[in-house]
Amino acid sequence: MLAVAVPLAYAALAQCDLLMQAQAEGFAIVTQLGHSIPWANFNWMSSTPHVFNAFLFWLASRMFPADFKQLMYSGAGEAAFNIDEMIAAAAGKAVALLEIRPQ
């Protein structure tokens, strides 16, 4: 059992790290474009450990599955469009965003 759990946990942490890198890149692009991120929660999240943020998202998705899906998922097309626009604005500074872009 442990032989299966360890590789799965490692893969999940690697994916978590990539998602949090993409989040940090997105926040950096938004602020470089002159927009402020006024929400204290988002500023707080960018300074906390990635594993803690992943745990909070996982917990919210388990406690409120329908609400979480409705609030957090607008469809792959919208996510791809937003990432494309951020990549165009960032001029090569959005490597992690490009990696998580839906096909």
Mean pLDDT of the chain: 76
Residue 73: the pLDDT is: 64
Q: In which band, very low, low, confident or very high, does the pLDDT at 58 lie, cut at 50, 70 and 90?
A: confident
Q: pTM, whole model, 2 decimals? A: 0.63
C-alpha–C-alpha distance, residues 24 and 6, integer Å: 27
Residue 1: the pLDDT is: 55
Q: In which band, very low, low, confident or very high, does the pLDDT at 21 lie, cut at 50, 70 and 90?
A: confident
Instruction: Tell whether the model's pLDDT for residue 85 goes beyond 60.
Output: yes
